Each structure stands twice: as structure tokens, then as C-alpha cells.
Amino acid sequence: MKRFHVHLHVDDLAASIGFYSKLFAAAPARVEADYAKWMIEDPRINFAISTRGAAAGVDHLGIQTDDGAELVELKQRAAAADLALHGEGATTCCYARSEKHWVTDPQGVAWEHFHTLGDIPVFSQPTAAEAPAAPRGKPVGVAVKPASACC
């Protein structure tokens, strides 16, 4: 089963945690100095906020898979539809290790397809051979330009 993913950049993490905790009637599943994430079951969503963006608003949307086979299916579907794919492969970001790829919609909104493999104690871990940067979302309707940040 898949889970919808939304990542927002916020100006005030504490105020936003308070607001979304009330909105979802649940505390975040993970809180860091620059990040919070809720794993809501109804509706099934991975909702994340962070202070890492240049401007407040939607950073990117996505679909999180429960297993690697679902991720392969999403990648095959995107390739068959001739969507421009940016394969990131195994990576770390948002305090997690994951396998992922990206597509960008006609308005420039980045969509992340990913399968989480485990938690890590830092936002991201650089690798010796850094892959090209993934497309990054901007507030909805603004063109995406690649950046060095991850989800």
C-alpha cells in the first residue's frame, strides 16, 4: 500500500508543529531542530515540515511505498508515460535512508517516489560520489530548479 507525501517549508517550526498537531489530532512521529513528520493513517499520509527552504510553502509532493516492488512499479509507470525521470537511487535525507526517484509536473512541482529503508540520526549524509541534485519543488506554480537539498 502506498502513502501520499507532502513536504512544506515553514518559517516557524514550533508554531507549525502546534498547528499541525491540532489539525491532525496527533503529535509528530519525529521531531528534530529543523524538521517534523507525521505518519497519519487516516488519511494515509506522510506529512513533513522543515525550516530548510528559502521560502515557506509546498516544497514537493510524493508517494511513499511500503516495499521496493511498488517503487519499481512507479518508476516503470513514469518511464512508460515518457515522464522525465531523475533516478536518485539509494540516498539519505529527511533523517532516513531510502531508495527514490523524481518526476516533475508541467507546473514545476517535484514529485518524489520513495521507499524508506531506515532512520538515520542526521538530516542527510553525504556520500563519496554524490549524485546530481534531485529536482526540488517550490511553492506550487513556480518552476523547479535543481538544488543540493534533499527532501
Parse the chain into domains and list their residue ranges. 2-119
Average pLDDT, the chain: 83
Residue 73 has pLDDT above 80, yes or no: yes
Q: Tell me, what's the pLDDT at 15?
A: 96
Span 127-145, pLDDT tens digits:
544 444 444 443 333 333 3
More confident residue, 38 or 133: 38
Report the CATH number of the 2-119 domain.
3.10.180.10
More confident residue, 91 or 37: 37
Q: Tell me, what's the pLDDT at 151?
A: 57
**CA torsion, ordered 122, 128, 129, 130, to nearest 10 deg:** 30
The dihedral through the CA atoms of 29, 91, 14, 38 has a sign that is negative
Residues counted in the chain: 151
Residue 34 has pLDDT above 90, yes or no: yes
Prediction pTM value: 0.75
Residue 105 has pLDDT above 60, yes or no: yes
Span 39-60, pLDDT tens digits:
999 999 999 999 988 889 999 9
Residue 3 has pLDDT above 90, yes or no: yes
Regarding beta strands 30-32 and 35-41, do their DSSP bridges make them parallel or antiparallel, or are they unpaired? antiparallel
What is the rounded distance in angstroms from the CA atom of residue 138 to the CA atom of residue 110?
A: 8
Question: What three-state secondary structure class fits 76?
Answer: helix
